[in-house]
Chain A
Amino acid sequence: MIKSAWRALACLMLAGLAACGTLPEIPFDHVANPGIKKIGLLQPQMDSTPNVILASDVGQSFGLIGALVDASMLANRNKSFAALLAAQGVKPDAVFLDDVKAALGAHGYAVSDTPTTRSGSGLLKDYPKGGDVDAYLDVAVFNYGYIAAGIAKSNPYRPFVNVRCRLVRASDSAVLMEDSIIYNPIGAPQKTVTLSPDPAYAFADFDTLTADPALAVKGLDAALTGTATAIGTLVQ
């Protein structure tokens, strides 16, 4: 429960940091790097279970007690949604990995899997040197799942994904591209790629979301695919 609450908080903080411009946006310079043709895709940092977040509610006005109640409700929603995904046989991290490979392939890159050991929650600090690739792509999914701006039915649950990605040259780990992407952000972070959610996937409340598991999964897939496509655009 506490872990989920921290993840939700981290998501909002990251959006805030991005809004303040503290995270760099480094565009890929294809002209200066024509030799980048084969990318080693590092196993992305991504929890296997998503979050189902209510971004504003009454509990937030009531200090620690309200926060504990919110965390408990978040944990219950996450547990239910994880069970829904399991029942559908869906593994979002595997879906996203395939989506990123497809997005890179669509821009002409050859992609190879690079097994990765991660200890933190963000991008790696050190990268493999050399290898049979020209560059490595590091992707950290800070948070994903469904989010509603508020409790009213006019604030439906929509899928969201929050990632940071970095492309480094294999020979010397020089950063070739680095950026943030949020599918369905809360607010409009300025130094971040912001993807508007597909309006086909909006659920008035959590019961509506879980009442149609197939559509809920399709919505999450659309968010993951849209985010991966944007990663592809950033390295084109």
Chain B
Amino acid sequence: MMHLRRGIALLAVLAAAACAHAPPDVAPILDLADRSCVPEPALAAALATAATVDGDREKPAVATIDAQTPCLAGPAGKSLYVLFALPGGGPYTISLSSVPLGRSLFAPRASVLDGDGKLLRDLPIDGFLFRGTNLTTLYRSHPGERYLLVASDPPSVGRLISRVNETVQQTYASTGYATFVIYTGSDIATDTTWAHNGEVTLSVVADKPAPKK
């Protein structure tokens, strides 16, 4: 009986652990008609980032983009945006991710700016691919690239995307005399809407130093 109780307790702990990281559900913002927007991003309000060097654990900068986030007026329409200030030095491998928040997925477009906020290049929108559950693009930095402007992409906002998530769970069970593992699968489709709001993360990772000779 005691073993049975321990088994049930273990199952309860595992179930609780599985639920601990469920992302919050956030309603998508699809319309910015009532927002007043600026033509240029505010460089002074840029979010600082730090480079991860060899051996360090990545510590990405995280930005939540919501109704209070500044708005940018561009040729494609109004966007909510966040500006990241990139660390000096380099070169770096930079990873920009849009993290799903329940029903919402920030629709990203990204541009690399110089120290004066002048556009150097746009990152291709179709270069964003899902890595894990995040919509991500990777790129290499170059000298003089000081800011990364990340803004919602008006033409993409409102798009629906459905992704199939297949998983295998391990459940530990006990009969009181023996403990064994039960494997079960799940196959669930998740629907999200590309939105002006969401969460983005930015990791800046320095090249590993060349091995000593």
Contacts and interface: CB of A to CB of B under 8 A. Distances in A.
Main secondary structure of the interface of A (DSSP, over half): loop
A228 to B, nearest CB: 14
B202 to A, nearest CB: 14
Contact of B184 (A56, A195, A197, A236): A56
Contacts of A46: none
B186 A32 contact: no
B165 interface: yes
Interface string B169-199: 1000000000011111111010000000000
Contacts of B95: 25
B132 A194 contact: yes
A155 B138 contact: no
B126 interface: yes
Given A191-B131, A192-B132, A154 B181 contact: no
A148 B164 CA distance: 12
A163 to B, nearest CB: 13
A56 B163 CA distance: 21
A193 to B, nearest CB: 5
Contacts of B68: none
Given A29-B140, A149-B187, A186 B131 contact: no
Contact of A155 (B129, B134, B142, B166): B166
A95 to B, nearest CB: 22
B126 A184 contact: no
A230 interface: yes
A233 B131 CA distance: 13
Residue among A152, A188, A195 having the largest count of chain B Cβ atoms under 10 Å = A188
Nearest to B139: A27
Interface in B117-134: 121, 124, 126-127, 129-134
Q: How large is the interface on A (under 10, 10 to 19, 20 to 34, 35 or more residues)?
A: 35 or more
A197 B189 CA distance: 10
A218 B184 CA distance: 28
Interface in A144-177: 147-152, 154-156, 158
Contacts of A236: 124, 126-127
Nearest to A12: B168
A194 B186 CA distance: 17
A206 to B, nearest CB: 14
A155 B186 contact: yes
Contacts of B169: 56
A32 B185 contact: no
A98 interface: no
Interface of A: 25-27, 29, 31-32, 55-57, 60-61, 147-152, 154-156, 158, 184-197, 199, 230, 233-234, 236
Given A150-B184, A155-B166, A193-B131, 13 more contacts: A27-B93, A31-B140, A60-B183, A61-B180, A149-B185, A149-B186, A150-B168, A150-B183, A155-B187, A158-B187, A188-B165, A195-B129, A233-B126
20 contacts: A27-B139, A56-B183, A147-B166, A148-B185, A150-B168, A150-B185, A158-B166, A186-B168, A187-B168, A188-B133, A189-B132, A190-B132, A190-B134, A191-B131, A193-B129, A193-B131, A196-B163, A233-B127, A234-B129, A236-B126
